[in-house]
Amino acid sequence: MCAPSQQGRAGRGAPVCAPSPQGGHVGPPLRCPAGVNIDKCGVPATLKRMQMPWTHTAAFAEPELRSIPAGPFLMGSDPAHDPEAGPEEQPQHTVTLPEFAIGRTPVTCAQYLVFLQETHARPPAHWRFLRWRIRHIPAHQHEHPITYVSWYEAVAYCEWLAERTGKPYRLPSEAEWEKAARGVDGRRYPWGDVWEATRCNIQPEREETTPVDAFPSGASPYGVLDMLGNVWEWTRSLWGEKLRAPEFRYPYEAGDGRENQAAPEYVRRVLRGVSFYNEAAQARCAARYRYSPHNSYASVGFRVALG
């Protein structure tokens, strides 16, 4: 059964539920993120293989990365400094991370297309036509962020990319994501503490994504783009089972179970970044949200991490 529509901070509309598979699938079955045969676990049918013609093709290109140095940073929000701070973002505290790398932009439609071509996984809902007999990227969206992907599909892309390159690609933790977005000084936005609408895609009336490099002035201290606006982004971190309050609160402790990648499907995952559909008051580096790992929306994408 589909999860109910969740209006609010993360976006609009009902989730796109995985359709039941049409017959068999071509080639060996894909694996669940935990390494279980997909035919024997609860991972959505969208990961099953489909062999269909493409009206577009794309060449493989490894995502461009930005290196984030090891060291401490301020994570979370201080309500004395940020009046929009939510309880799930508090208290503000210091977290120390090892060096890692993160995608300069979210994964684009063109990059995700290569994954689909090579794995025959089902495409996002808005790419489908005539029961998947024709599949294509929507017009003029090759460099837009991929959307309508579940957490499981984002993980599958990272696993495919890791196998394709021999490098341990994965989703970023929410701590890694936040440091890449704001640097070490606890700033509210990637560019500082003063809101500037021209630096990101936060315009609910527009109701669409933009190319991932459309707002270079919104870059973080490390040169990472689209860390606010355009799409919410899946992280590897867990929120917990409850919708309203996170099971995994702050201070952030990586070893307390929140980075358990084998967590069951009823445990919600954390999203970061805010989408084009949200209001400016919600667009802050510390903002946290959550969805079921099966959910996929027009306002949700992801980026990769390495290290």
Into how many domains does the chain fold? 1
- Split at pLDDT 50, 70, 90, the class of 176 is very high
Q: Are 77 and 86 in contact (CB under 8 A)?
A: yes
Q: Is the pLDDT of residue 153 over 90?
A: yes
The Cα 68–Cα 65 span in angstroms is 10
pLDDT score for 55: 60
- Split at pLDDT 50, 70, 90, the class of 220 is very high
Tens digits of per-residue pLDDT, 56-78? 677 899 999 999 999 999 999 99
Mean pLDDT calculated for residue range 168-194: 98
Report the chain's terminal Cα–Cα distance, integer Å: 37
Structural domain boundaries, residue 183: 38-49+56-306
Sign of the CA dihedral with 186 first, then 187, 189, and 190 last:
negative
Q: Is the pLDDT of residue 109 over 80?
A: yes
Q: For the chain, state the CA radius of gyration.
A: 18
- Split at pLDDT 50, 70, 90, the class of 126 is confident
DSSP at 130: T
Lowest mean pLDDT among 69-73, 86-90, 120-124, 155-159: 120-124
The Cα 266–Cα 274 span in angstroms is 23
248 falls within a domain: yes
Q: Are 41 and 32 in contact (CB under 8 A)?
A: yes
Mean pLDDT calculated for residue range 227-252: 97
183 falls within a domain: yes
pLDDT score for 76: 98
Q: Are 273 and 233 in contact (CB under 8 A)?
A: yes
Q: Are 250 and 93 in contact (CB under 8 A)?
A: yes
Give 234's strand partners.
271
Q: Is the pLDDT of residue 87 over 70?
A: yes
- Split at pLDDT 50, 70, 90, the class of 292 is very high
225 falls within a domain: yes
Query: 50: which residues sit within 8 A by CB, 6+ positions away?
Result: 22, 25, 26, 120, 121, 122, 132
262 falls within a domain: yes
The Cα 278–Cα 282 span in angstroms is 7
Q: What percent of the chain shows pLDDT beyond 90?
A: 71
Average pLDDT, whole number, for the chain? 84
More confident site: 39 or 86 = 86
18 falls within a domain: no
Mean pLDDT calculated for residue range 183-209: 91
287 falls within a domain: yes
For 50, 117, 124, the CA distances from 55, given in Å and listed in that order, are 15, 11, 15
Q: Are 238 and 260 in contact (CB under 8 A)?
A: yes
The Cα 233–Cα 225 span in angstroms is 13
CATH of the domain at 119: 3.90.1580.10
194 falls within a domain: yes
Q: How many alpha carbons fall within 13 Å on the CB side of residue 131? A: 4
Q: Is the pLDDT of residue 164 over 70?
A: yes
Q: Is the pLDDT of residue 30 over 70?
A: no
Q: Are 190 and 273 in contact (CB under 8 A)?
A: no
The Cα 245–Cα 289 span in angstroms is 10
Q: Model pTM?
A: 0.84
61 falls within a domain: yes
Main-chain phi, psi angles of 291, to 5 degrees: -145, 160
Q: Say how far residue 1 (Cα) sits from the centre of its chain.
A: 23
